[in-house]
């Protein structure tokens, strides 16, 4: 059987399995480039993350040879084919749950996440997650490009961090929003800001924390500041909004992320000696400071029962219309009570 006949047979088999087969030629570029990047230029409607998954799954051939490495180098003029299976249904089951929907259209949904809600299923969290609730709310429209267990998820918040999140409902939205979040507003339109309550007074009042982060070698459940060569670059910009507290100083701090690492704000502020109030992971050494708060503030902190961190601002470019969208969320009731109790 000739190579052409083999390809025809593969196409027929794929059609039976409802798999779309795309064939093309690597467009000219400046020398060699990564396979996944070249395919993203060739088929811009497919996100780079999805193309990487298809490559690793053996669904891409280059000059009739299967390529399994997304970083493989290619040059313009090479023939390429990719088999694109239909989106797989997400494994998590839909679970009806009240969601605070701030904005929704055919492409995306913005929600105000409450405390205690895990974003996507994982070890020990097979149900009761935001993804389960979104599947019930959005139905078949939810994008599956973020992964079977994380359909539509572009970014996430810690379980006990509250505030604004955007979720993609289409492949186009997922691809565009993922690119905006990867840029973190350095050159694009993305805007995110968090409000945090921290122990003590940060100096200077407006500043930047630039410290690499990596998984702690002592406790794999924690993130730690490490030498630049050992970790991932991480930058947090902050500004003190107000100084609160009467006997024990507490800062209301506004943080803006230039990178989006796990636990970044919590670790960076703790590294500077000003952990978040209520942070049992990174602020345990400051627990006794709660005893120096006024009774009403101490009771409010006990009632909070989590780190005092809220995603208060989210702005981005709409992936389809190009319009600028900007949303703000006030601190939730439990954090607002703590702020009020700390205000002189």
Mean local confidence (pLDDT), 15-30: 75
Could you report the per-residue pLDDT of 46-88, keeping only the tens digit for each?
888 889 989 998 999 999 899 999 999 999 899 999 998 876 5
Whether the per-residue pLDDT at 159 is higher than 70: the answer is yes
Helix (H, G, I), strand (E, B) or coil at 313: strand
Q: DSSP string of 188-228?
A: SS-EEEEEEEEES--SSSEEEEE--EEE-SS-TTSEEE--G
CA-based R_g, the chain, Å = 23
- What pLDDT was estimated at residue 16? 42
Strands (E), the chain: 20-25, 33-34, 60-62, 65-66, 73-74, 79-84, 101-104, 108-113, 162-168, 191-199, 206-210, 213-215, 223-225, 235-244, 250-257, 309-317, 324-328
d(CA 10, CA 59): 11
Handedness of CA 288, 289, 291, 295 (dihedral sign): negative
d(CA 164, CA 71): 34
| Side-chain half-sphere exposure of 330, counting CA atoms within 13 A | 5
- What pLDDT was estimated at residue 121? 81
Could you report the per-residue pLDDT of 168-218, keeping only the tens digit for each?
999 899 999 999 999 888 888 999 999 999 999 999 999 999 999 998 888
Which of 61, 74, 71 lies closest to 30 in space, CA to CA?
74
107 is catalytic: no
Mean local confidence (pLDDT), 135-156: 83
Could you report the per-residue pLDDT of 295-316, keeping only the tens digit for each?
999 999 999 999 999 999 999 9
**Which residue is catalytic, options 158, 160, 279, 334?**
158
Whether the per-residue pLDDT at 17 is higher than 70: the answer is no
Whether the per-residue pLDDT at 257 is higher than 60: the answer is yes
From first CA to last CA, the distance across the chain in angstroms is 84
> Residue 333 contacts by C-beta under 8 Å, 6 or more apart in sequence?
none
The sheet carrying 79-84 orders its strands as: 20-25, 79-84, 60-62, 65-66
Q: Angle, to 10 degrees, between the axis of helix 48-56 and the axis of helix 35-42? A: 120
pLDDT band at 12 (very low <50, low <70, confident <90, very high): very low
Helix (H, G, I), strand (E, B) or coil at 255: strand
Whether the per-residue pLDDT at 30 is higher than 70: the answer is no
Average pLDDT over the chain, rounded to an integer: 89
């Amino acid at each position: 059987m000739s190579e052409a006949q083999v390809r025809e047979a593969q196409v027929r088999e794929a059609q039976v399995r409802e798999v779309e087969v795309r064939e093309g030629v690597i467009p000219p570029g400046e020398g060699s480039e990564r396979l996944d990047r070249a395919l993203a230029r060739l088929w811009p409607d497919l996100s780079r993350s999805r193309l990487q998954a298809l490559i690793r799954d053996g669904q891409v051939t280059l000059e009739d040879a299967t390529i399994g490495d997304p970083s493989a180098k290619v040059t313009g003029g090479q023939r390429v084919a990719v088999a694109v299976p239909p989106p797989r249904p997400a494994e998590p089951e839909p679970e009806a749950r009240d969601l605070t929907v701030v904005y929704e259209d055919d492409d995306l949904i913005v929600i105000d996440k409450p405390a205690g809600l895990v974003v996507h299923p994982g070890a020990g969290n097979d149900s009761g997650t935001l993804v389960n609730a979104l599947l019930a709310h959005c139905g078949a429209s939810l994008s599956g490009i973020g992964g079977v267990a994380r359909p539509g998820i572009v970014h996430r918040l810690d379980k006990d961090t509250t505030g604004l999140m955007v979720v993609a409902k289409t492949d186009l939205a997922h691809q565009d929003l993922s690119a905006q979040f990867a840029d973190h507003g350095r050159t694009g339109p993305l805007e995110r800001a968090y409000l945090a309550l921290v122990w003590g007074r940060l100096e200077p009042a407006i500043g930047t924390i630039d410290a690499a982060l990596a998984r702690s070698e002592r406790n794999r459940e924690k993130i730690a500041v490490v030498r630049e060569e050992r970790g991932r670059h991480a930058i947090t910009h902050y500004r003190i909004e107000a100084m609160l507290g009467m006997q024990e100083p507490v800062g209301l701090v506004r943080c803006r992320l230039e990178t989006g690492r796990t636990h970044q704000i919590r670790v960076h502020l703790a590294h500077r000696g000003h952990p978040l109030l209520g942070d049992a992971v990174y602020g345990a050494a400051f627990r006794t400071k709660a005893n120096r708060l006024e009774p009403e503030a101490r009771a409010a902190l006990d009632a909070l029962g989590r780190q005092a961190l809220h995603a208060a601002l989210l702005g981005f470019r709409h992936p389809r219309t190009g319009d600028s969208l900007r949303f703000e969320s006030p601190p939730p009731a439990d954090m607002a009570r703590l702020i009020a109790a700390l205000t002189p």
